[in-house]
Amino acid sequence: MDGIGRDLAFEDPLDDPYLDQARLAEDSSDEDVNITTGDQLILAASTEDDAASLNVYLYNDELAQLYVHHDVMLPDMPLVVEWIGASPVSLEAGNWCAVGTLGPEIELWNLDIINAANPPVVLTGAADAHPGDMADKKKKKKKKKKKQQQLGEDEADHVVGQLGGHSDAVMGLAWNALQANVLASASADCSVRLWDLQTTQCSAAFCNLHDAKVQAVRWNPKQATVLATGGFDRAARIADIRNVNNALKVNLDSDVETLLWEDERSLIISTEGGEICKFDAAQIDKGPVWKIKAHDKACTGIATTRHLPGLLISCSLDRSLKIWDVRNNTPSVIATRTSVFGPGALFGVQISDATPYVCTIASEGQDLQVFDFKTAVNNKF
């Protein structure tokens, strides 16, 4: 699930340069297709039985409307979606998304095209070998010393240039809003890769940041070259991609579920053990600023908003959603909602940028849900 980063606010959709004009002209009588001022778009992926789809929801807070505006069928089970505000190749402002699935490819979809049959761009990398793949891990460890002597320390830990893509499922994606041509991906093949959206090629592969599957990846909101990653090796890393050998590392009590930057210095991490912890990015090795046992099972989603500093929302496989006050680095729970979003586990939460007291929730066996939590915070924010 991902909240699209801007509203599409054309009074007349025929004025929107990104929408399919011919189709809109043909369907102009259909009010459900028209996007007007006040409408927000929400991006989510779902699976039902053997079918998988990418859904673009339209939400209007004033009218209390939420419905699927359009969708596309996906060939494999989606694991992650990421909104991209630039068109591949041209890098002009756009409305795209990247989808990671159980397969090694990354699909790029133009969200403004209705009834698209195939992704316009698929990131697979060059046709050469896959540095850092899990299958080669044991061989690489044996040859590491010799390789470092031959290539030098920097090149031993990562490779740049025309590279192969992933060889296993893509579990994490992050678009760099400060450098629009860069997309980062994390994979079950234990590697993190960078993609140049202008050339649609893999430009760097970081093979030794983690010793197991990498699930989470996020760019720093103010520093274009700083990347945070988290994996199934119970570790999180903060790296400057210009020199990943100096990446900072923190060991955790369980595997990383997700992570986010509260600001350019503060990284918040949730884990499989239900913990949430905050770190000072510059001193991550000194331990957490705060740490809480937030949930009984894996904490699958955390969200903050710039409009309400100090507010944190978390959700979990234990079916609960919690709202926290983390101001002054002393976390306290404000509200808890359990089993009100359906009988199944909760998989993700995002707070709307346009309506900051509204969040979207992805849950097992349910359609995307919207939750207005203004009353729940009881005027504390």
Mean pLDDT by runs of 10 across the 381 residues of the chain is 48 58 53 84 92 95 93 94 96 96 96 92 67 41 38 44 84 98 97 96 95 98 98 97 94 97 97 98 92 98 96 97 97 94 94 94 93 92 93
Tell me the CA distances in angstroms from 68 to 47, 95, 109, 125, one per residue in order: 15, 17, 16, 33
Q: How far apart are the first and last CA of the chain?
A: 25
Say what the pLDDT of residue 36 is: 87
On the CB side of 92, CA atoms within 13 Å amount to 4
Say what the pLDDT of residue 1 is: 53
**CA dist., res. 96 & res. 177, Å (int):** 13
The CATH number assigned to the domain holding 338 equals: 2.40.10
Residue 311: give the domain boundaries. Answer: 294-381
Say what the pLDDT of residue 162 is: 55
User: Within a domain: residue 319?
Assistant: yes
The total number of structural domains that make up the chain = 1
Between the CA atoms of 355, 357, 358 and 362, what dihedral angle is there, to the nearest 10 degrees? 140
User: Within a domain: residue 2?
Assistant: no
Say what the pLDDT of residue 168 is: 96
User: Within a domain: residue 165?
Assistant: no
Say what the pLDDT of residue 146 is: 39
Backbone angles phi, psi at 78, to 5 degrees: -75, 140
Say what the pLDDT of residue 337 is: 96
User: Within a domain: residue 326?
Assistant: yes
User: Within a domain: residue 126?
Assistant: no
User: Within a domain: residue 199?
Assistant: no
User: Within a domain: residue 124?
Assistant: no
User: Within a domain: residue 347?
Assistant: yes
